[in-house]
Amino acid sequence: MPLLQAENLTFSYDKKHNVIKNVSLSVEKGEYIAVIGRNGSGKSTLAKLFNGLVKPDSGKLTVDGFDGNDKNSLFEIRKRVGVVFQNPDNQLVASIVEDDVAFGPENLGVPREEIGKRIDFALKAVGMEKFRHSSPTRLSGGQKQRIAIAGVLALMPEILVLDESTAMLDPQGRKEVLDVVEKLNKEKNVTVITITHYMDEVLNADKVFVLSDGEVVLTGTPEEIFKEKDRLKSLGLELPLAAVVADRLKEKGVALPDGILTNEGLAEALCALKAKI
């Protein structure tokens, strides 16, 4: 049974225009999932549906066997699905890092000694243990966002949902956060659902869902998705930079292979080409 399963989820804020239409998807334990779509495609609403912040008008959400429509299991779902939001400033509750990380476990009624252990674990997992007694206001955007991730990890979630969590960060901060998330996925087997409009964040994913106008219009591995270039363009999405460069080079007659997506892939192909000449 999948860890998270959505069946025909439909949701509207005003009961007129559906923001999410008939979305069905399933996520297995340990997977790295990317949901992409341009602004207004319903991405963030989907994140809120996943953790029960909003309730679907129809359809069914199941997380680890708990039914999202059952009011009593709301807490169980929130415990299992941790969401990191876009603006790091607006999700930190306390003025000291360790107090903020403690907020989640405190809410769950975790005993004191155990909270201390969880803070150790969470801060170590995001590489911020040195800042335990600092004030978040003095940290950089990437560091703040890592604290926000630690705050969610302290709840010991099964699934980490990143709702455009890198959108407000500079390239350095984005890299910090993405590295931490990838490490969590690989080493701690945390299931990750990253919701983004940055195409290059999709490349590491096991599975990609393309969302447009509240509907899942494409599903597949990154390679499969990026093959549908024209489809993506018509949805207002851009290919990763390396793929665009490779395409343009091919147009100019450079004999590059198909399916180049990453900078490394492009570099390799170009080197191979040079070796041939």
Partner 1 sequence: MKEVAFGQYYPAKSFVHNMDARVKILAVIAYIVAVFLVQSFQFMGFAACLLFVLIATAASGVPFGKVLKSIKGILFFIILSAILQVFFNATGNVLVEWGFIKITDKGLLNAAFIVARITLMVIGASLLTLTTSPVELADGIESLLTPLKWLKFPVHEFALIMSIALRFIPTLLDETDRIIKAQKARGADFESGNVFKKAKALIPVLIPLLISSFRRADELADAMDARCYSGSKNRTKYKKMHLTWRDLIGVLVMAGLITGVVYLNITGFLAVVV
Name the residues that contact partner 1, by CB under 8 A. Answer: 48, 51, 53, 75, 78-79, 82-83, 85, 87, 89-96, 98-99, 102-112, 115-116, 119, 137, 148, 151-152, 155
Nearer to partner 1, 53 or 254 (CB): 53
Q: Which residue has the tokens 């991405």?
A: 43
Nearer to partner 1, 104 or 142 (CB): 104
**Nearest distance from C-beta of residue 156 to partner 1, angstroms:** 11
Nearer to partner 1, 26 or 87 (CB): 87
**Nearest distance from C-beta of residue 89 to partner 1, angstroms:** 5
Nearest in space to 174 (alpha carbons), one of 153, 158, 150, 196: 196
In angstroms and rounded to an integer, the radius of gyration of the C-alpha atoms of the chain is 20
Phi-psi region at 201: left, alpha or beta (left = phi > 0; alpha = psi -120 to 50): alpha
Do 131 and 97 contact (CB within 8 A), yes or no?
yes
**Nearest distance from C-beta of residue 111 to partner 1, angstroms:** 6
| Cα four-point dihedral sign 273, 240, 82, 73 | negative
Q: Which residues pair with 5 in a beta bridge?
A: 26, 62
**Nearest distance from C-beta of residue 265 to partner 1, angstroms:** 36
**Nearest distance from C-beta of residue 247 to partner 1, angstroms:** 38
Nearest in space to 123 (alpha carbons), one of 155, 91, 147: 147
Nearer to partner 1, 80 or 174 (CB): 80
Angle made by CA atoms 215, 160, 100, in degrees to the nearest 5: 130
**Nearest distance from C-beta of residue 107 to partner 1, angstroms:** 4
Nearer to partner 1, 12 or 87 (CB): 87
Nearer to partner 1, 106 or 206 (CB): 106
Burial class (CB in 10 A: 0-12, 13-18, 19+), 249: middle
Q: Is 220 helix (H, G, I), strand (E, B) or coil?
A: strand
